[in-house]
Amino acid sequence: MRPHLPASPRSRSPASGALDAVDLESFASQLEDLRARALADVATADDPAELDDVDSSYLGRKGELRTLLGGIGQLAAEDRPKVGALANPIREELEAAVAARRARLLEIALEVRLARERVDVTLPGRAMPRGSLHPLIETQGEIARIFGQFGFVTYESPEVETDELNFQALNIPADHPARDLWDTLYVAGTDRHWALRTHTSPGQIRIMRETAPPIRALLPGRCYRYEAVDASHGFEFFQAEGLMVDEGTTMAHLRGLLDEFAHGMFGPQTGTRFRPGYYPFTEPSVAFDISCTICGGVGCPACKRTGWLTILGAGMVHPVVLTNGGLDPERYQGFAFGMGIDRITMLRHGIPDIRALLDNDMRFMEKF
């Protein structure tokens, strides 16, 4: 038996076999030799491509077996069928061996893949940094949640407003001194027709004109003023406006609602009070104070030693404003309030400087 050569099966020359095979015995021994080499090559083929090569070099159309059998003509006529009888089982055996090896190679490939892709479920997971809402957005959501419990629906109102809605409809005439309360940014080239809203109050007019009472609306959003920026003033800030209009609405409703708000936002221990205030669009007007969140009402620098912090302005909607909203002030009454979301956020989280809220410094943001 020839020693098995590890060289590629294709490098072996099958042609010599045909010439050597001149009698039955030599045919038989060459067949046996072929069988042994083929089985060894099949067994050592390490991947499907190599197995294909082995397959075609022995069993293919130009393979050794066919070439060998091509020499059958040199045999005596009666010996030829015997060669066939010898060769056919060998061919079948080799075909079966190739098929078995092919199946095994697929199995091995799968095993390798499974081993490589094994997931160790006991390893600790890779931590996903958790995102968070911007503290202003989060506070706005909390405000909406609290007033939502009392039936207040949150609306959007435009940031670019007409002078008419931002001022005149709210009972602030063009040359009224009360305008000095709001340093306004006008849109260039519009002859002061369009302004960036200085407060969320113009949304009151829009709501009254667009919906019929009973109205319970919350209008949060960004506002702008021509302000010198410091630790407590931004030229860009956030307010939330509230408006309730119905028959028989009184200041007692306002008082009770704002108490609920203060307790919901700052805790049940929070003290509250109304102080007289002035706004052109409400009459009477009040400032709503809560007991100082830092000292609890004793008096400290944060509350200028008064024990109180003003968190919003409010009042009963002025009849002129109701009329401008298309409502009959003889039939309907309402209250309104407006708060600075920035200020509420700063109080909740003890943030000393309003500028931190819009700086978008990640070291600050990640604290929330």
Query: Looking at beta carbons only, is 27 or 288 nearer to ligand DAH?
Result: 288
CB-based contact 209:325 (threshold 8 Å) = yes
Q: Which residue is nearest to ligand DAH (CB)?
A: 338
Relative to beta strand 153-154, strand 215-224 is parallel
* 270 lines the binding site for ligand DAH (CB under 6 A): no
Q: How far apart are CA 338 and CA 115, in angstroms?
A: 65
- Among 37, 101, 199, 343, contact with ligand DAH (rule: CB under 6 A): 199
Q: What is the DSSP string of 81-105?
A: HHHHHHHHHHHHHHHHHHHHHHHHH
CA-wise closest residue to 261 among 242, 237, 283: 242
Q: How far apart are CA 4 and CA 241, in angstroms?
A: 93
Query: Looking at beta carbons only, is 157 or 282 nearer to ligand DAH?
Result: 282
* 201 lines the binding site for ligand DAH (CB under 6 A): yes
- Contacts of residue 355, defined as CB under 8 A and 6 or more positions apart, other chains included, come to 229, 231, 234
Tokens of 197: 């809203």
Chain Cα centroid distance, residue 241: 29
Count, residues near ligand DAH per rule CB under 6 A: 11
* 196 lines the binding site for ligand DAH (CB under 6 A): no
* 315 lines the binding site for ligand DAH (CB under 6 A): yes
Least distance CB 313 / ligand DAH (angstroms) = 3
Which range binds ligand DAH by CB under 6 A, 5-13, 38-46, 69-77, 307-315?
307-315
| Of residues 60-119, those binding ligand DAH (CB under 6 A) | none
Which range binds ligand DAH by CB under 6 A, 67-75, 118-126, 312-320, 359-367?
312-320
Q: Which residues pair with 314 in a beta bridge?
A: 286, 337
Q: What are φ and ψ of residue 322, in 5° steps?
A: -60, -45
Binding mask 274-303 for ligand DAH (x = CB under 6 A): -----x--x---------------------
Query: Looking at beta carbons only, is 21 or 321 nearer to ligand DAH?
Result: 321
Least distance CB 337 / ligand DAH (angstroms) = 5
- Among 9, 313, 325, 334, contact with ligand DAH (rule: CB under 6 A): 313
Coil, helix or strand for 161? strand
Q: What is the DSSP string of 324-362?
A: HTT--TTT-EEEEEEEEHHHHHHHHHT---TTHHHH--H
Which range binds ligand DAH by CB under 6 A, 70-78, 114-122, 184-192, 311-319?
311-319
CA-wise closest residue to 50 among 103, 111, 102: 102
Query: Looking at beta carbons only, is 55 or 241 nearer to ligand DAH?
Result: 241
* 314 lines the binding site for ligand DAH (CB under 6 A): yes
- Among 241, 288, 292, 318, contact with ligand DAH (rule: CB under 6 A): 241
Least distance CB 127 / ligand DAH (angstroms) = 43
Q: Which helix (H) or strand (E) holds 24?
A: helix 24-44
Least distance CB 315 / ligand DAH (angstroms) = 5
Binding mask 329-348 for ligand DAH (x = CB under 6 A): -------xxx----------
Q: How far apart are CA 315 and CA 276, in angstroms?
A: 9
Q: Which residues bind ligand DAH (CB under 6 A)?
A: 199, 201, 241, 279, 282, 313-315, 336-338
